[in-house]
A and B are shown apart, each in its own frame.
Chain A
Amino acid sequence: GAVVSQHPSWVICKSGTSVKIECRSLDFQATTMFWYRQFPKQSLMLMATSNEGSKATYEQGVEKDKFLINHASLTLSTLTVTSAHPEDSSFYICSAIPLAETYIVQYFGPGTRLTVT
Chain B
Amino acid sequence: AQSVTQLGSHVSVSEGALVLLRCNYSSSVPPYLFWYVQYPNQGLQLLLKYTSAATLVKGINGFEAEFKKSETSFHLTKPSAHMSDAAEYFCAVSGGSQGNLIFGKGTKLSVKP
A residues sitting closer than 8 Å to B (CB atoms) are 4, 6, 32, 34, 42-44, 46, 49, 51, 57, 91, 93, 95, 97, 102-111, 113
Q: Which of B15-23, B65-73, B100-108 contacts A (4 or more CB under 8 A)?
A: B100-108
Does B113 count as interface, using CB distance less than 8 angstroms?
Answer: no
Q: 6 A-B Cβ contacts within 8 A? A: A43-B104, A95-B101, A103-B99, A104-B99, A108-B43, A113-B41
Range for the number of chain B residues in contact with chain A:
20 to 34
- A49 neighbours in B (Cβ, 8 Å): 98, 100
Q: Tell me if A46 and B46 are in contact (CB < 8 A).
A: no
A99 CB to closest chain B CB (Å) equals 12
B24 CB to closest chain A CB (Å) equals 15
- A97 neighbours in B (Cβ, 8 Å): 99
Q: Tell me if B105 and A42 are in contact (CB < 8 A).
A: yes
A112 CB to closest chain B CB (Å) equals 10
A61 CB to closest chain B CB (Å) equals 15
Seed contacts A6-B43, A111-B41; 17 additional CB < 8 Å A-B pairs: A4-B43, A34-B100, A42-B105, A43-B103, A43-B104, A46-B100, A57-B98, A103-B94, A103-B97, A103-B99, A104-B51, A106-B99, A107-B46, A108-B43, A108-B45, A108-B46, A113-B41
Q: Tell me if B42 and A110 are in contact (CB < 8 A).
A: yes
**How many A-B pairs with Cβ below 8 Å?**
58
- If A44-B103, A46-B101 touch, whether A108 touches B36 (CB-CB below 8 Å) is yes
Measured CA separation A9–B90 after assembly (Å): 22
Which B residue sits closest to A110, measured CB to CB?
A: B43
Does B82 count as interface, using CB distance less than 8 angstroms?
Answer: no
B residues sitting closer than 8 Å to A (CB atoms) are 32, 34, 36, 41-46, 49, 51, 90, 94, 97-101, 103-106
- A110 neighbours in B (Cβ, 8 Å): 42-43
- B51 neighbours in A (Cβ, 8 Å): 104
Q: Tell me if B90 and A105 are in contact (CB < 8 A).
A: no
- If A43-B90, A44-B90 touch, whether A105 touches B46 (CB-CB below 8 Å) is yes
Which B residue sits closest to A102, measured CB to CB?
A: B99
A55 CB to closest chain B CB (Å) equals 13
- B44 neighbours in A (Cβ, 8 Å): 44, 93, 95, 108
